[in-house]
């Protein structure tokens, strides 16, 4: 027959063994977790919505180039600038209401052209490991009509913290 001391000692050893097994199991699980840092990043095509596109028609221009807008104030400034050149420009936009908590705007503006055969557009947007790449295409399907124009396109994409690079 075991004494009370021997029973307590046996319970302590068993309890200590269980704790030790649990600790080893936790360490083994932690060390055996796969780390995906070695796997290559697969680029992802980002869906975008065209808000508006066309041509501004005036000698007054918006500075040619690419603009990323992530706040309401900058968006209002762009809309006002575009409407000051052509008063009804933004009437054809699919929307002018943007939730900058979930989306941002990418606007591309070509230089002023002396005929209306020029176009500019966002071909695709790809999320890479370290940035978003926006492919901008400028084309001239041809026109002999002499009209001063400035092609543009404005798209909306989901918000991102990655830098945006234009190609």
Residue pLDDT, tens place only, 115-155: 778 999 999 999 999 999 999 999 887 666 778 889 999 99
- Tell me the pLDDT tens digit for each residue of 68-99: 999 999 999 999 999 998 888 899 999 999 99
**Max CA separation in the chain (angstroms):** 112
> What's the angle, vertex CA 150, arms to CA 148 and CA 152, rounded to 5?
155
Between CA 106 and CA 127 the distance in angstroms is 14
Q: Which helix (H) or strand (E) holds 167?
A: none
Q: pTM here?
A: 0.74
């Amino acid at each position: 027959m075991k004494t009370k001391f021997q029973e307590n000692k046996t319970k302590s050893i068993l309890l200590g063994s269980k704790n030790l097994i649990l600790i080893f199991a936790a360490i083994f699980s932690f060390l055996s977790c796969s780390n995906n840092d070695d796997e290559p990043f697969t680029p992802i095509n980002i869906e975008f919505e065209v808000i508006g596109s066309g041509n501004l028609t005036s000698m007054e221009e918006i500075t040619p180039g690419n603009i990323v807008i992530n706040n309401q104030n900058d968006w209002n400034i762009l809309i006002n600038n575009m409407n000051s050149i052509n008063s009804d420009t933004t009437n054809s936009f699919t929307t002018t209401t943007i939730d900058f908590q979930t989306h941002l705007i990418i606007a591309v503006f070509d230089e002023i052209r002396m005929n209306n055969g020029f176009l500019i557009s966002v071909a695709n947007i790809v999320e890479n490991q370290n940035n978003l790449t926006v492919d901008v295409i400028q084309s001239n399907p041809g026109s002999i009509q002499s009209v001063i124009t400035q092609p543009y396109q404005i798209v909306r994409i989901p918000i991102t913290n990655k830098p945006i690079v234009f190609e």
